[in-house]
Amino acid sequence: MSEVKRRGNAAGAEADDLKGKGKAHEEDPFAVLAENASAEPLNNEEQQKIIEELREQNKKWNYIYRSAVLLMQGLLFIFYFTPLPSYIAGTHPQNHLIVFWGSGQGTHDDLIYLPALPFYIAFLLIQGGLLYMVAFETADAMEIPAIIKRRKSYAFPAQPHPFGTAPNFLVPPLSQIRWAPSGGRADQDHTVTEGQRIAATTSPRLMYLVVLCVASLPLPLMTFGAGSFGNAGWWALTPLVIGVTCCIERSIWSSERQTHGLAGLRYNYKGA
């Protein structure tokens, strides 16, 4: 009786193991590659199926990540517009900027009170404009129909570059950015050499986002240097959000590049 029970338990465990393997095959496209070491090499159709499944998974997660980033960018837009009503009504705690002209000691008569609203609007146009360009690029990468239709509606000279939604006037300088300067020291004889273009070794769209991130740094740095630490932190939210966007796009580009390289291989052994 105990022998029958033992065999029944063994059969049940084997059935559970087969069921677990079948479920793993459905969830993991690589499960079929790890069954045993004596399996036959996969043919091209099976390899292509696995690669297509990986692409679909990557596409799904890329859309989720970009949606989260786009939501964060939209929230920052709203965040920047919240002080405007109080600035217009004159009830904001920092409604005026106090400027002192002169050296040494002075009196209250030497202080100049400037309205803060024009400065805030000017700074909002700078940082908000950069944030809008990043959000537009993110929406285009997500292939939102309205954005794609707008970009593809331009004639040929308007969109011949690989920098995504970058304005045409930025394309020549973006194309000429290189990893290293040319030449050597002035007191040495050398041949003029040019470094490799960054756009040729990395994603041009990612490069465009990095340039926008760098362009958003001067304003908070100058505000910090002027002693307005709270406002510096306020405007530093723009490079922070753009930096997170760059990190996400860098991860997505690396994953897509690896999948593309995987599709170009032809495996002749099972463990590949």
In-domain check, residue 3 = no
Would you state the pLDDT for residue 42? 63
DSSP string, 104-118: S---GGGEEEEESHH
Q: Considering the domain boundaries, does residue 31 fall inside one?
A: no
Any domain includes 142:
yes
Residue 97 inside a domain? The answer is no
Which pLDDT score, from 0 to 100, does residue 73 have? 95
Q: Is residue 18 part of a domain?
A: no
Start-end of H helices in the chain: 2-27, 44-81, 84-89, 117-141, 145-152, 171-176, 204-215, 218-225, 229-235, 237-263
How far apart CA 226 and CA 241 sit, in angstroms, is 23
Name the DSSP class of 179: S
Residue 169 forms part of a structural domain: yes
Amino acid residing at 28: D
CB 73 within 8 A of CB 131: yes
From first to last of the 272 residues of the chain, give the pLDDT tens digit: 444 444 445 545 555 555 555 555 555 555 555 554 455 666 667 777 777 788 888 888 999 999 999 999 999 999 999 999 998 988 888 887 776 666 666 666 667 777 889 999 999 999 999 999 999 999 988 887 766 666 655 554 455 678 888 888 888 888 888 776 555 555 555 554 566 777 777 888 999 999 999 999 999 999 998 888 889 999 999 999 999 999 999 999 888 787 766 656 655 444 44
For residues 94 and 90, what is the distance between their CA atoms, to the nearest angstrom? Answer: 9
Rounded CA separation 160/171 (Å):
10
In a domain, 85, yes or no: yes
Give the predicted TM-score (pTM) of the model. 0.73
Strand 111-115, strand 96-100: pairing: antiparallel
Instruction: Please tell me the predicted confidence (pLDDT) of residue 153.
Output: 52
Residue 218 CB partners (closer than 8 Å, separation 6+): none
Q: How many domains does the chain have?
A: 1
In a domain, 86, yes or no: yes
Q: Which residue range forms the structural domain that includes residue 50?
A: 37-90+117-179+194-263
Q: At 195, list the tokens.
A: 């470094």
